[in-house]
Every structure is written in structure tokens, then in C-alpha cells.
Amino acid sequence: MLRDVTAVIYVTPLRSGGSVPGVVEADDLGTYVVKFTGSAQGRKALVAEVIVGELARALGLRFPELVLVHFDPSIAEHEPHQEVRDLHGASAGLNLGMDYLPGAVDFTPEVAQTFRVDPLEAGRIVWLDALTVNVDRTVHSSNLMVWPAFGVAVPRLWLIDHGAALVFHHRWEASDPVKAYDFRHHALGHYAPDVRAADAELAPRVTLDLLREVTAAVPDAWLADEPGTPQDIRNAYVDHLHARVRASAAWLPMDFPTREELAAEEALRAARTRQGRPNWLKWVPDLHGRPAVEQDGAVHLG
């Protein structure tokens, strides 16, 4: 079960993500990044954070400790932005906190060029993301941190931010435990991730007992909007993930582009963006019937 703490000092909001989490200090003297229940992503994002984060930790991957944070909006009355204060007001009570990693840096494409990742470690992370359908760990948004800071100690990869995982819980009626997803642009795809070795190592460890343990950490209140009792919903997560892990041969991601292929794809995407209006639209007249006329390399409406 997750520890309970109470936020006593509000430090600052983090605007790097759409949910606008906040950094707080708590009564246990810890510092946490808090994801609020009133955010636009809703409580299902917090459910995914708990289940995937605790599963990652149980499998030996580096993931900061999660805690349940009791938050009183009055401690953040000095926050100058109204939209952030509104978020706090909608989040009074129980929220989710993740241990703050001081000095950690984002695993950006620039960092990735010089950072060595063992193929088996890369395979384990890709495997976990494929199991839990985490579609938000890409070359453009890795949701990975490097910590401790370079030069202080041996830097390691840490997983963060799994709110976009478990996409099946947004449409339970259409969920398919054997469905494969496109992970070609995974943040660790160009490290030759050994997903077969990871599958052989990790799949036997994702047992019914382990899944029951990690889903039990989700507070009842965050499952209240689903049909059935909170335990019914926990059982649905357990059944789906257990069926998925047993069918891993059907969804193991194997096709990853090289760094050079990624660079070529990015260059093509950038060129298309610069080009503006695509060629197939150049000769489409506007709705007022004015024809499109090309002049000096540009298209004008006649």
C-alpha cells in the first residue's frame, strides 16, 4: 500500500506537462511532485500512474516512490495564476505524489546521443510499456529522467509519468488483451532493446498475486466512477493484464528504426512542415470560387 503524507508547503507548479503538477513539501520532510485529481486528464490517469509505476518497481525498474498526498488548497493561496488555483480548488483531498529527484535531467534526444543504455535494460522498459500499452514514451517525449546528475555519481535511467498507459480502460467494452501497438518510435528503440530476453525474464513474474497487489494500491475513490464496485474494477485490471502477459508473443514489439532512419524521418517531417500547404491542395479553389493561380513559385487566389 502507498504511504499517506500531508502537503504542508506548496513550492511551484510544473508546466512541462498538460496536467500542471505541483512540487510540494510534506509532513514527512519529503519533497514530491503532485498530480492532482482535478486535472483535465482525470482520475484514470492517476490509476494508470499507480498500477504501472508499482508494477515497474516490483519488476526491478527504477521508478520514484509514490505516495498519497492530502492537499489543502489554502497552502497554495500565493499561486499567481488563476487556472492553477482553480486546479488546486478542484483537487482538495487525496492526490498522488511522486518522490522528487533533485537535479534530474530529461532524457532528451540530445542526452540520448551520449548516454549508454544496456539492450536488456532497454528491452525491459519497452516490454513494460508494451504490456501496459504506454503510448507516451517516444523519441519526442521520453518520460524518462537521468538521475543522479552527470558528474555526481553514475547516472541511471528513471521512469516517470505513466498517466497515458492502460489505454484500454477508456473503453473497457472494446479492450483486446492481445492487441499489438506501434512502438517503432519508442524512446529506447535505437538501443537495440532485447525484448525477447526481457519477456523471458519478466513475463513469469507478472502473476495474478502481483497484479492484485499493485491494483490494491489504487484508492477506492479513484475507481468510483466505473460500473461495479472498486474491487470489481480492480479485478478487471488484473484479468486484462494477466491475459495480456500470457499472450506476449502476439504483441512483442520487434521493429525499431536505427538512429539514421529516425533522423531521416525527422528531416522529412520537418521539410513537410516548412513546406506549408501540401501539394495536393495547391490547386483547390477557395469556397468563393476564386481559382488558385501559381505566380513566382507561390499560389494565389485569383
pLDDT at 288: 42
Q: Model's pTM, two decimal places?
A: 0.87
Indicate the helix (H) or strand (E) that contains 244. helix 230-246
Residue 124 lies inside a defined structural domain of this protein: yes
Residue 176 lies inside a defined structural domain of this protein: yes
Helices (H), 80-161: 82-89, 109-112, 119-131
Whole domain around residue 61: which residue ranges? 3-251
CA–CA dist 293, 193 (Å, integer)? 51
Residue 205: DSSP 8-state: G
Residue 271 lies inside a defined structural domain of this protein: no
Residue 300 lies inside a defined structural domain of this protein: no
Instruction: Give the pLDDT band (50/70/90) at residue 113.
Output: confident
Higher-scoring residue by pLDDT: 118, 272: 118
Quote the number of domains for the chain. Answer: 1
- The dihedral through the CA atoms of 190, 259, 141, 130 has a sign that is negative
Instruction: Give the pLDDT band (50/70/90) at residue 17.
Output: low
C-alpha closest to that of 26 among 80, 67, 82: 67
* pLDDT tens readout for residues 185-223: 999 998 999 999 999 999 999 999 999 999 999 999 999
* pLDDT tens readout for residues 115-164: 999 999 999 999 999 999 999 999 889 999 999 977 767 899 999 999 99
Residue 288 lies inside a defined structural domain of this protein: no
Residue 207 lies inside a defined structural domain of this protein: yes
* pLDDT tens readout for residues 213-269: 999 999 999 999 888 999 999 999 999 999 999 999 999 999 898 778 877 887 887
CA–CA dist 155, 164 (Å, integer)? 26
Residue 120 lies inside a defined structural domain of this protein: yes
Residue 201 lies inside a defined structural domain of this protein: yes
| Ranges assigned E (strand) in the chain | 3-13, 22-26, 31-35, 66-71, 93-99, 105-106, 144-147, 156-159, 292-295, 298-301
Quote the longest CA-to-CA distance of the chain.
Answer: 70
- The dihedral through the CA atoms of 184, 206, 118, 139 has a sign that is positive
pLDDT at 150: 73
